[in-house]
Homo-oligomer: A and B are copies of this chain.
């Protein structure tokens, strides 16, 4: 037979079982936390009609889209979960209750140039809260608590949720008479961390024609730093000059003020005036989440408040707030900086059962008993030497091996070996079930990240 060399496409992540178990744990944790906050799961098709998906049209994204025809249909793979959400909400408006809180975890596709840490197929894990006509500021305050809980439950302790408000920036640039260049200025200021204030100043004056004095005032504004109370105090000096700024100040004060009630420790939250998010559709609170020990990786969870989710599909005004975690990139980063747990219990079973007699019935019955108690049990009945069987157990990393030989069967017992300590004991079935059930109950507490 002619053989094809098996391979996968570049830019596609595929994991070996041990790594995959960690990835599943990450996805499961995100799903569980999103559920705790009252979000309902959605699942939209990966393929959308191109006219629907590209309603917004144009730009850099369009070139990256996987677009093709099948029969008469012009099809595209989704490149994010936001456009499908907008389409879904517009399409099912009458059947939804608002605020509509949904989470979606799924793969999206972008044909980017292959590059280390850039993926063409990757998971996004999104939440959005969509209002019908209006949406209370409390929802914007709630989002940092969800981010906090997600990363904490993943096992991360060193991360900072950075928050800003676009109205503050819009109002501030309006005060300076720079409203016409606000979008360009925000994009430039966004580079502060990467290229420093000198270069940002040069870009502002040279490329955007910002007067020197205004550029200085922008940089002075962006240098307002410190704890949240201090930053808000400094911002108060600008209040009363511009309505949009004042509204942004109010919102930021509210968001910050509810933090304690939402259980977010102050040291995990930072008002950061340099954050703007590139996208134009954000209109209020914006979020980025960074790892202070790894500034090079940028934001691992971003989002914000927008006023018009689905204007391309409906005349309903649907404001919302949402965040997205790029799970595939997050996994790559965590692995890269050594934060993925190397001791995580990623074995596919809690116990490997070895029948040591011709007839495996006793071993099978024991496996059935364990599974009925929620213990993950694997039977191994291949015709191999004993040493090969133990090698197999070691390679899988199963924490326990159970033997059923003639002696055990005759006495109605089973021998259980703890693979970590090497300790082995023979005991009645019931006792073995208790032992393994106690282990299995504890197994659920592990986190995929170990700092």
Contact = CB atoms under 8 A, between A and B. Distances in A.
Interface in A22-54: 23-24, 35-49, 51-52
Nearest to A54: B4
A90 interface: yes
A87 B41 contact: no
Contacts of A95: 16
B47 A24 contact: no
Contact of A368 (B20, B145, B348): B145
Contacts of A379: 38, 138, 142
A376 interface: yes
Contact of A36 (B1, B135, B377): B377
Nearest to A45: B12
A17 B311 contact: no
Interface of A: 1, 3-9, 12-17, 20-21, 23-24, 35-49, 51-52, 55, 66, 68-71, 73, 75, 86-88, 90-92, 95-97, 99, 101-102, 107, 109, 111, 121, 131, 134-136, 138-139, 141-142, 145, 149, 258, 261-263, 310-315, 348-349, 352, 360-362, 364-365, 368, 371-372, 374-383, 392, 395-396
Contacts of A360: 138, 258
A3 B258 CA distance: 38
A224 to B, nearest CB: 27
A263 B372 contact: yes
A24 B48 contact: no
Given A14-B43, A97-B395, A131-B382, 20 more contacts: A3-B314, A6-B86, A7-B49, A7-B52, A8-B49, A8-B91, A17-B42, A23-B43, A35-B376, A36-B371, A39-B348, A46-B46, A68-B68, A68-B69, A142-B379, A258-B361, A258-B364, A261-B368, A263-B368, A263-B372
